[in-house]
Structure 1
């Protein structure tokens, strides 16, 4: 085995170790969201209380899974083996571990408010935010962390696009579509942060920053339409 082959093999081993670390970090973040919390239920009552957390856990799990899967797709299709990619990926993990707490609190507060609106009662052992100012601070933390994670993924794709000299036209379009999705996601999160800062205090106004995230559907729709149009033009 010559020197170049040894370097390539060492690079692949290092990449696999890093991938394992990134996956383990996301798995740890998800484990923090476990519906039972930090303690195992000791009786039926505590188990029923833990089951009340399932809706918030499901939404939090799905959101975290989206970011993990986007990083996996980047690793499989666009990865560049250099220090810059590793640093940005580590930044993504760092923000993921910060993001997990406001993520869980936002969905817990949301489902508690929905339950209260339909039944007139609060969920047992539910997160209750009494002041609009506290909800604003929660949305600021959530939006900032969301924007940072989307920004890290956007930087990864932008960095890879600079080095994809031998990629096919289809691969370039797919990478650009992913880049545009991340930039759009970051813009939506920052818009939510801005709305949280300027919206007046009030019961309905406090929910507006969360409603801003429905704009993500338009981001996915527009970027997907652009990619299909570009692929059709090459056909």
Structure 2
């Protein structure tokens, strides 16, 4: 029964993670249609791709047995994010393109370094520990990215820029993989996804508190001369769904 539940939560985790990976599709449809990246940031897609690559590597049988479902969804996620990055490079202005190319080179270098060290220098438990820590660090960073939007929700008392479905699937994805990690006795899956589950729950709580103020408080804030500035939100803090961006 434990093995069955482990498999079931892994499948459910794959489904919810796929939704998260596909959520920016409308954003990129807009970029292609307008032939411009406008003020969208390419940083989140590069960092998510790095997270997916490291997690997919960690889930491989010779690194971490019984975690093939981790590899399948993160391998798929890495491919999807690579497509996003490619589209971004095609339509980004020259200066932005140069920065994204530099970031892409950094992402590739980090993953290559982790893969080479774990393959050539480490074996057994040491290899799993090294790859697991690397994957966990970037998974936590990915889940922590909406913190700036949670701050914005509290400041404006509006959930205009925090879509309910995205918050829900962050919670479901984190919870599914958290339980999957618990059943598999794998701290490198349990810890980062436990953080994701908590952060997702916090977003849902904020949504429940401020859902009736959707768009209203932010408008009132602006009319009172206490509006938020775009400079308050850094490029790496962008939270997107259906083309919405802070």
Q: TM-score range by the shorter chain?
A: 0.3 to 0.5
Structure number with larger C-alpha Rg: 1
TM-score (norm 2): 0.32
The higher relative CO (CA closer than 8 Å, separation ≥ 6) is in 2
What is the TM-score normalised by the length of structure 1? 0.34
